[in-house]
Structure 1
């Protein structure tokens, strides 16, 4: 139980840097109420879907403003990121299945959330055109 709490703490401290995004706020509330492994996984899965939507929104906004080489580079980078994300998730699933038992699903769900959040924030920082401080990215 302590392992998932440590993982949740790390994720939630990262969310504080993101100015407590509504997705992360909802996740925090959900995790506070979760009493089972399945409930924790559902919390992370819901938040991942939220960040996936935010990532897609940020990508769509950015790609609409670009043309030529920058547009081509961004499309390629996002496609490669999706492949990398899937590869990372497969590697993490194999690792956690052998090291964490029943908490493997929680760890994998938390990692998936982190991947989605980070990519959404990277695209957001490109949309904003600045990354001078944590509050801008």
Structure 2
């Protein structure tokens, strides 16, 4: 197989996970019907819950396949990521709180992006593929 074709197939297969996720994983349809900032935040929260479950599924799947030092490193990395996520959202909250009601929507969107990206990173680690097709 030619290297270019292989990379293209590899990248296409990585996007398959995002496409295979239920529609609740994307807030787009929900946001089309949202008329208040509270409703927008609920859309992002619902999508975040779907991606959080997927992230935990991918993490647990990896933890079952690893042992020894690789398992310890993954555990440490995930704990560090959780700390990073919390710190990032706290810093964002302090900045976005001055942006009015849409600041809370931006924070919700950031929270979704963080968990979705981590779920994709864990999935890519398990499959040996790029998490972001643009990186392949």
User: TM-score if structure 2 supplies the norm length?
Assistant: 0.80
Structure number with the bigger relative contact order (C-alpha 8 A, sep ≥ 6) is: 2
Partner of 1:105: 104
Unaligned runs of 5+ in 2: 1-14
Choose 1 or 2 for highest CA Rg.
2
The answer as to 2:85 corresponding to 1:94 is: no
Distance change (3 Å), C-alpha of 1:133 and 1:117: closer
- Residues 1-137 of structure 1 correspond to what in structure 2 (within 5 A)? 18-19=18-19, 21-23=21-23, 26-98=26-98, 100-131=99-130, 134=133
Alpha-carbon distance, 1:21 to partner = 3.2
Q: What's the secondary structure of 1:131's corresponding residue?
A: coil
Shift of 1:22: 2.0
Distance 1:74 1:83 in 2: 14
List alignment gaps of at least 5 residues for structure 1.
1-14
Q: Quick one: distance in 2 between partners of 1:105 and 1:74?
A: 32
After TM superposition, the score normalised by the length of structure 1 is: 0.80
Maintained 8 Å contact 2:58/2:123: yes
